[in-house]
Amino acid sequence: MIAFGGSIGTGLFLGAGSTIHKTGPSILLIYLVIGIFFFFMMRAIGEMMYSDPQQHTFVSFIGKYVSPRFGIFAAWSYWAELILAGMAELTAISTYLKYWLPGAPSWLVQLVFLAVLTLVNLSMVRSFGRSETFLSGIKIVAILVLILVGAYLIATHHQNPAGTHASLSNLSEGFTFFPNGFHSFINAFPMVFFAFQGMEFVGITTAETKKPLKVLPRAVNQIIGRILLFYIGSLFIIMAITPWRSLSQSQSPFVQIFELAGLPAASQIINLVVIAAACSTLNSAIFSTGRHLYQLAQESSGKTLKPFETVSKSGIPYGSVLFSAGMMILAPIISSFNGLGTAFTFIASISSDIYILVCILTMVAHWKYRRSKDFRADGFKMPHYKWTNPLTVALFVGIFITLFFNKETILPAVGALIWLIGFNIILSITNKRKKLTT
């Protein structure tokens, strides 16, 4: 459910119209390809977590098997990325709630939701699991309803208001792989890649389960199939109900399909769902950032991060959870200033691009793990890693390269490279100074 919470969010409910517009039915193939390679990455993470389930974050393996410097880079970059993701979801929640409460102050809405979900994370881990199950359940029910309603419309050959009919032929009629050109097809890959972001949350919770070695393999093997079913299944139904070119980019395709079905409360339903989706992602972000900061504090030799090592009787790293949630309070401040809002959007885009670099480093760490003395021959092994690992790295590198061929993504991609190079230069200088002083 944590992986559902991280992976199935506003990108599907609101952003699917944009991805469909770029490639049409070919988007199903892109989701399948990205989903398969995300499964390979999850198996790589799962294998390393299985060998050492006490690690609270998968990025710790980058420092262990690639290099300490890249480990620090990946850990802080991923923590910052999740903080920004949480802030973005807070902003989204206040925007969605204005549909019902147009006069409610955005900053107050954001503070209330942040406070409630922080309290959930500060209670027992069981409370977090239950809340995430409930929030993810709302999204899953919405998708299942869409699939069932869509299947009924297709079976009855429903006539749409525009005069078209619901039919499987809508997927094949006039089909071409590149309806808007090869460039649009390639640009859809990063969009789909980021839609799967959050699936790695499964590995983060391993150390806090009662039987991690039993839970982890089952969770990893099941999650990818279920997510592909929900993503591909819902998009397949949407494009079968109505010709994909008739879908609006600005409006959620879920709303459009429910309206075609004659459900006047469609917008109300979807607004509730997207709020649940945003809360679910925010809930997972608070949980994950707290664990990441806790791990960073444990691995740090300095005294600055020591307060973040504090753990409650129920095993919650409350110091790191409170600090991470506190950083997200910047969201209501930023939303009050238009200029800062634009800057935040740009920084969030850079952070998303850095996520690709972290994924690449994760696969490199797995490759080196397989050649280390820690390798467990009886472990939860990644299948055929000698070719699945390099292929996964090649795809991730290829997706990052495509960012430089789109005017909307080139500047954030350059920013991600500057962050990578600059961060490592600063670490190198800091290490040299430490050696000189000692």
Cross-strand bridge partners of residue 159: 165
Distance (Å) of CA 88 to CA 142, 278, 280, 404 = 22, 9, 13, 24
Residue 159 phi, psi (nearest 5): -90, 125
Q: Rounded distance, CA 348 to CA 351, Å?
A: 5
Question: What is the model's pLDDT at position 30?
Answer: 93
Q: Rounded distance, CA 400 to CA 343, Å?
A: 22
In 3D, which of 302, 403, 292, 391 has the Cα closest to residue 62? Answer: 292
* Element housing 354 (H / E): helix 338-370
Supply 38's token pair.
């995300």
Q: Count CB neighbours of 383 within 10 A.
A: 10
Q: Which residues of the chain have pLDDT under 70?
A: 1-7, 9-11, 14, 56, 124-128, 202-209, 250-251, 264, 337-345, 347-348, 434-438
Number of separate domains in the chain: 1
Q: What DSSP designation does 159 have? A: B
3-class DSSP state for residue 95? helix
Question: What is the model's pLDDT at position 348?
Answer: 66
Which CATH number belongs to the domain containing residue 149 in this structure? 1.20.1740.10
Q: Rounded distance, CA 85 to CA 92, Å?
A: 10
What is the pTM (predicted TM-score) of this model? 0.86
Question: What is the model's pLDDT at position 231?
Answer: 85
Question: What is the model's pLDDT at position 312?
Answer: 80
Question: What is the model's pLDDT at position 307?
Answer: 83
| Domain span including residue 243 | 2-437
Supply 418's token pair.
């500057």
In 3D, which of 181, 202, 185, 277 has the Cα closest to residue 48? Answer: 202
In 3D, which of 13, 5, 10, 2 has the Cα closest to residue 255? Answer: 13
In 3D, which of 245, 344, 282, 236 has the Cα closest to residue 96? Answer: 282
